Each structure stands twice: as C-alpha cells, then as structure tokens.
Homo-oligomer: A and B are copies of this chain.
Amino acid sequence: MKKRPLILVTNDDGITAPGIRALISVMKTIGDVVVVAPDSPQSGMGHAITIDSTLYVEQVKVDDGSQVEYSCSGTPADCVKLAIREKLDRKPDLCVSGINHGSNSSINVIYSGTMSAAIEAGIEGIPAIGFSLLDYKWSANFEASKSYVKTITENVLKHGLPNGVVLNVNLPNLPKEDIKGIKVCRQARANWVEEFDKRKTPSGKDYYWLSGRFVNLDGGEDTDEWALENGYVSVVPVQFDLTAHHYIQNLNSWNLNDTETNSA
C-alpha cells in the first residue's frame, strides 16, 4: 500500500468504551484514524437513525495519539452518515465498528448497533467490518483480539469487499493461546426466547423488563455459533439486500392479480 489508508472508527458502546479504544490502537498501526462515535451507549439500537431530533457533534480528546475524534449525540448509523458528509475530507478506505462488548453473532446481527454502523458504511460503498468480543462486561479484556482484528483488517484492505457485502467478526472470550484460528461462517439460525420480568412500580403500576435465553436451533458446523463455541474467531459476510431471491418464483405462482378481491 503506497499511502496510509484513511480509517473511520465507530461503535455502539460509546466513544469512551474500552472496546473502541482497543480498536483505535490497532487501526493506528495500519492507517490514519478518524473516530466518530456515540457520546453514550447505543446497544440494541438496531439500524436506528435520528430523523426528528437534532444531532450534536463535538471534537474531543479521549486519550493520547494521532487520531482525530468526534463525539456524536446520535446512533451508530448517524455517526457514519455524519462522518462521511461533514467530518471527513475524502471517502474513507475502510470503516470499522466495535470492538463491541458482547456478541453480535447469529440473529444478534439484526439488533446490533455495531453492525448497523458497518452496514451504513457498506451502503455508502465503503469496505466495512464490525468486530465484537463475547464478553459484555465493561472490563472485558481485548488483548487477545488485537492480532485477529489486525489480520482481518489488513486482508480487507488488500482484497477489498464487493459492493453490498460487509463483514461481521465475532471473537471468542478466550486467552490468546486457546484461540484456534479464524473461520469463515454463515449466520446460525438461532433466536432469543424472551422472558419478561413483570414488576410493579412503587405506585402499583405493572411494568416489564425484557430478558431472555439465547437458543441455537442450528446444528450446522459451518455457523458462527459453532465456530465461537469451538474456540474460533467467526467471520460472516453480511449483505443488506434483504430480498429472499429464492422465494420470488414461488410468490409469482400465487398469481396475486388473479385473486378475486373482496373489497374490504
């Protein structure tokens, strides 16, 4: 690579989270780093964007180094949009999001602010990767993740990614010597079985806390869940063309226009 790549870094745990600090430290060894990240945690925000509210962006200095950093009042997707349109001189060569405190494997990709930032960059035609460590704690240890983050990032810069594809990388919460390597995977068919914890306010009104159990329904050994359970870093290529192309033919056989319509 002749000149240093321009790398946009964001996340959904907020700009002061240890996970984004670890990610910045790796990216500085690869390129020039600009950070635009939420000023507060945004987990579970999915692909939310701020339509009916104002957005603030402020240059900040969180820790030492050459990176330029902005703190933003919006969601991860807002951060990427604002970075591209307002804060960067040129289109970045790469966008990385994370390292998330907690898994974004299997169906979690749908709820993930970390991945929504990567997808937003992908929509803009920027190669993008979301990184997540399987430890939701603020005190999570990101040291073992760093060399894998670097390897995967360097490969994306070298090979590029096709239009419409971004990477979802999850890292097992293991000491480095116990990590077996990197596996390219598909998203496991798994879901959450919600359990609502019903309580009463001091004044007697019912309210709920959302909680749940994660259930992997997918026995395949080519899934991200399998890889992570077996000590591998999982890499899933993710697309944002959500069309179920395989089902179009079937839907056409319904002959929707021939159906007798009883007016409602």
Which of A's residues lie within 8 Å of B, judged by CB? 25-26, 29, 41, 43-52, 54-57, 77-78, 81-82, 84-86, 107, 109-111, 116, 119, 123-124, 146-152, 154-155, 159, 162, 164-165, 168, 181-182, 184-187, 189, 191, 194-196, 198, 205-210, 235-245, 247-248, 250-252, 254, 256-257, 259, 261-264
Q: A46-B45, A81-B210, A251-B184 are in contact. Are A241 and B189 (CB under 8 A)?
A: yes
With a cutoff of 8 Å between Cβ atoms, the chain B residues found around residue A208 in the complex are 54-57, 82, 86
| Cα separation A237 to B250 with both chains bound (whole Å) | 10
| Cα separation A56 to B205 with both chains bound (whole Å) | 9
Q: Separation in Å of the A83 CB from the closest CB of chain B?
A: 11
With a cutoff of 8 Å between Cβ atoms, the chain B residues found around residue A209 in the complex are 54-55
Q: Which of B45, B185, B240 contacts A242 (CB 8 A)?
A: B240
Q: Which of B107, B155, B264 contacts A29 (CB 8 A)?
A: B264
With a cutoff of 8 Å between Cβ atoms, the chain B residues found around residue A48 in the complex are 44-46, 48, 111
| Cα separation A44 to B47 with both chains bound (whole Å) | 8
- A contact patch SS: mixed
Q: Separation in Å of the A158 CB from the closest CB of chain B?
A: 8
With a cutoff of 8 Å between Cβ atoms, the chain B residues found around residue A236 in the complex are 242-243
Q: Do residues A251 and B264 form an inter-chain contact, with CB atoms below 8 A?
A: no
| Cα separation A254 to B169 with both chains bound (whole Å) | 15
| Cα separation A208 to B120 with both chains bound (whole Å) | 18
Q: Separation in Å of the A204 CB from the closest CB of chain B?
A: 13
| Cα separation A224 to B54 with both chains bound (whole Å) | 31
Q: A111-B47, A237-B247, A247-B165 are in contact. Are A242 and B187 (CB under 8 A)?
A: yes
Nearest 7 CB-CB pairings of A with B: A46-B47, A46-B46, A146-B264, A237-B244, A239-B244, A237-B247, A182-B256
| Cα separation A154 to B259 with both chains bound (whole Å) | 9
Q: Do residues A44 and B55 form an inter-chain contact, with CB atoms below 8 A?
A: no
Q: Separation in Å of the A259 CB from the closest CB of chain B?
A: 5
